[in-house]
Amino acid sequence: MTRVVLLGSPPGPIGSPPPGGQPVSPADITLASLPGAPSVYGRLLEQLASLDPEPITIARPADAPAFRRHSRRVVESPDVAGDLRALADAVEDSADNLLILPAQSLVHDELIYQINKAKRHALALIVREERHEDAPEEPPIEEAEPEIGQKVIEGLPQRTRAGRGRIISVGTAYHAVTRPNAALLGPLRLHQRHAAVLAEAARELADMAHLFGPEDDVVELLVLGLVRRGVSVGIRGRRDLFYRRVHDQREADEALAEMAGFDEDRARLNHAVKGADGFFTTFFVSTYSRFIARWAARRGLTPNQVTLISILLGLLSAGAFATGTRWGAIAGAVLIYFAFVFDCVDGQVARYARKFGVLGAWLDATFDRFKEYAVFVGLAVGATVSGQFGDGEGIWILALVALALQSVKHLLDFSFGAANRRRAPVPLPTLDLTVPEDRPLREALEERKARRNSGIRSLLKLWTKAGRFRPVHWARKMIVFPIGERFAAIAITAAFFDPRVTFLTLVIWGGVATIYTLTGRILRSLA
């Protein structure tokens, strides 16, 4: 479960009020072009029902009756300070993860799902400043002075400094921020471990409410409190999905028309494909396997059923290799390729249809190895049956070496992952909320960066930066010999050569991958 808190009071503008005057309650804004013509607030409640059937809504007393027509859990608050205190009361004892977002949000279901399922313990949706080509060059950020940002993006104050992967600093009408380059759109997802920190920061900010302006948003203030208390808040853009805050009927109509131009199902399908796949998987499987996944999901196939198809194809491939004939080798190569295709499809079906389970994850991880090792046996049996290599003893030795290398590599991967998850992260610097500018925070971050970029860590960082170049990126993906490359190597060498070439390829490439992986694990452990 997820505890959802909806904020019913939008911030006021930095400049003059928008055309149409004051914002209208989202419970009174109708989405006429959608089935049933729901209100903005009513639609949002329906979208969130699977996460929290009774979300808490914090609203002004004048708007509370409109919200209560849709929801029972409405908390009245007279001002921003009341909003912050009400939110602290709502989340401080939470044993669930938190999702906080404005009640006037018009958003795709898929975007809500992705934000809520993010691996980051804290994640905020942002929109970045667009830089024009003819814009004057700004001085280096080291020379920039903290400022109270006056720019606006989509009606929201541009008072956030976002770096690579996370929020660096947040400003308000009181807090100056060094070169703000983004605005917080609204949704904020938080792991339950940070609920107490959020509540404490919210109450402290409530006591400072007299320092803030009407344009300061509650979400903006919450992220300010989290960042200054050392919580790493990750960032995400909308990408190929839609999100917009709407304040009146005109804005809602325009937003709906814009939203209709987005293909949510295609975005959902694209996100079903893992972004960290290897070269072979990315360019020779995932280009079309996603469409097989959608076809399978729409016909009710479960991920486990697709996994069983993959296992069957893998065993048939091993049987074909075991015949020891040329046509058997070609058939085995084709079958192992499609065994891998369906191995990708099962995960894509799970992500597209949102059908996850412990059994499915166990089957997928276990039988990937089972198929691979069965194919090793099939190749060795085929080589022995064919009589090309005498009694086949040399082939069996190569097969055992290849199997041992893969087993060691898998052991390295799983054991390092488990150990790395237990390692406590290096804490971020903190800064008191009463400090009016972020200069001390940025200086502390620079000192932390300098300490962390010495010795082995500096070498690792250089190697990470090299990954920005596409050839290096794909070379790094391939050198570790992921399952896609392994199955491709087996299929190609078995179809065009003989099992000895296949096993030599697996041993040589697998040996290089094991050395590379072990070296990287040792360096990261020492860094």
Residues annotated catalytic, as ranges = 368
Question: Cα–Cα distance between 320 and 8 in angstroms, integer?
Answer: 64
3-state helix, strand, coil in the chain (%, to 5): 55, 10, 30
Beta-bridge partner residues of 132: none
Question: Cα–Cα distance between 261 and 264 in angstroms, integer?
Answer: 9
Beta-strand ranges (E) seen in 198-300 are 234-236, 243-245
CA neighbours within 13 Å on the CB side: how many for 315? Answer: 8
Task: Output DSSP code: residue 465.
Answer: H
Query: Measured at the alpha carbon of residue 63, what is the angle toward residues 59 and 64, in degrees to the nearest 5?
Result: 65
SS3 75: strand
Q: Are 148 and 220 in contact (CB under 8 A)?
A: no
Beta-bridge partner residues of 59: 76
Residues 6+ apart with CB under 8 A from 326: none
SS3 277: coil
Distances, alpha carbon 246 to alpha carbons 30, 79, 235, 251, 253, in Å: 11, 20, 22, 5, 9
Residues 6+ apart with CB under 8 A from 168: 161, 162, 227, 442, 445
Could you give the residue ranges of the DSSP H alpha helices within 11-130? Answer: 40-48, 64-68, 80-91, 109-116
Q: Residue 151: which H helix or E strand, with range?
A: none
